[in-house]
């Protein structure tokens, strides 16, 4: 997997992709990251990359020319086809399904805007897809690019060991449920004890408990993620039992 990132702050991306699981994946050459600064492709003494918007209003708009020259250099550096993905609050919100789709590509070009945005004429011709982190506004696309790189890199074959397996993640699996709670040593602590079932050694009971916790959490925290009427019989029973448990906890 090759990531090319067009950004006024390439050093930011290099740093965030150098840590933890993602840093290890990069060391194992499971992906490569290439930063490209449009300022290096800007003309004139001041290497201007932005100017005031036509029609007035606050902020600056990133200019077509430096971005065009920069993107041409990115394409010329490697013949592998790659979609240009623009990070912006106008894009479709990123989901784990989208991350999985992106993880199957050989390469992508992530375009980060700053200021008020990028001249629409460049976007209309160059961008294949627009992705947003969510319904809020950031000061640039770099955090979005870092998020995509992290989420995609950890899904590359060999990035996670068995214990970290992505199959257990929130939003994975058929229903896209939230992850269950996790516990470690000590088994007993003033903040609470680890549930007995997790210490039972009974793998079927543990899997059942985890599934039940995932169902319960998703129902409690993100009920829009699944339609209860589509649950299979076993899941419906687990969820009903968990809810009964909550009710009986409340009764004095
Ligand atoms: N750039 C500015 N706001 C953003 C957002 N919400 N998602 C992705 N990129 C952005």
Q: Which fold has domain 168-250?
A: 1.10.1270
Specify the ligand 1 atom closest to the Cα of 135. 6
pLDDT reported for residue 132: 98
pLDDT reported for residue 60: 95
Helices H / strands E in the chain, number of each: 8, 8
**Residue 6 alpha carbon to ligand 1 centre in Å:** 15
Q: Is 147 in the pocket of ligand 1 (CB under 6 A)?
A: no
Intrachain domains 2-153 and 168-250 with the same fold: no
- 115 appears as a binding residue in the annotation: no
pLDDT reported for residue 78: 98
CATH superfamily of 2-153: SPOUT methyltransferase, trefoil knot domain (3.40.1280.10)
Q: Is 88 in the pocket of ligand 1 (CB under 6 A)?
A: yes
- 94 appears as a binding residue in the annotation: no
pLDDT reported for residue 19: 92
Strand blocks (E) in 113-172: 117-118, 129-132
Could you list the pLDDT tens digit for every one of the 252 residues in the chain? 999 999 999 999 999 899 999 999 999 999 999 999 999 999 999 999 999 999 999 899 999 999 999 999 999 999 999 999 999 999 999 999 999 999 999 999 999 998 789 999 999 999 999 999 999 999 999 999 999 999 999 999 999 986 667 877 888 888 889 999 999 999 999 999 999 999 999 999 999 999 999 999 999 999 999 888 889 999 999 999 999 988 887 766
**Residue 140 alpha carbon to ligand 1 centre in Å:** 6
What does each C-alpha distance from 198 to 34, 91, 184, 207 come to in angstroms? 44, 42, 10, 9
Return the SS3 of 125: helix
Q: Of 33, 39, 26, 27, give the one whose Cα is nearest residue 2.
A: 33
Domain map (residue ranges) of the chain:
2-153, 168-250
Other beta carbons within 10 angstroms of residue 189's beta carbon come to: 10
pLDDT reported for residue 3: 98
pLDDT reported for residue 170: 83
């Amino acid at each position: 997997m090759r990531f090319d990132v067009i950004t006024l702050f390439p050093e930011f991306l290099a740093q965030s992709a150098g840590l933890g699981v993602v840093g290890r994946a990069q060391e194992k050459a499971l992906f490569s990251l290439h930063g490209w600064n449009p300022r290096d492709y800007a003309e004139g003494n001041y290497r201007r990359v932005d100017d005031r918007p036509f029609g007035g209003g606050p902020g600056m708009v990133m200019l077509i020319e430096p971005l065009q020259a920069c993107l041409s250099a990115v394409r010329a550096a490697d013949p592998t086809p790659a979609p240009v993905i623009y990070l912006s609050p106008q894009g479709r919100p990123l989901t784990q399904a989208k991350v999985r789709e992106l993880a199957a590509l050989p390469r992508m070009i992530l375009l980060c805007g700053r200021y008020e945005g990028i001249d629409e004429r460049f976007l209309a011709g160059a961008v294949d897809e627009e992705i947003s982190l969510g319904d809020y506004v950031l000061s640039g696309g770099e955090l979005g690019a870092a998020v995509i790189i992290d989420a995609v890199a950890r899904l590359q074959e060999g990035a996670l060991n068995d214990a970290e397996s992505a199959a257990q993640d929130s939003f994975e699996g058929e229903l896209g449920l939230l992850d269950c709670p996790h516990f470690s040593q000590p088994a007993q602590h003033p903040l609470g004890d680890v549930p007995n079932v997790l210490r039972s050694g009974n793998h079927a009971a543990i899997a059942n408990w985890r599934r039940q916790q995932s169902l319960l959490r998703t129902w409690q925290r993100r009920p829009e993620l699944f339609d209860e009427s589509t649950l299979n019989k076993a899941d419906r029973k687990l969820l009903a039992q968990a809810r009964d448990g909550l009710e009986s906890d409340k009764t004095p």
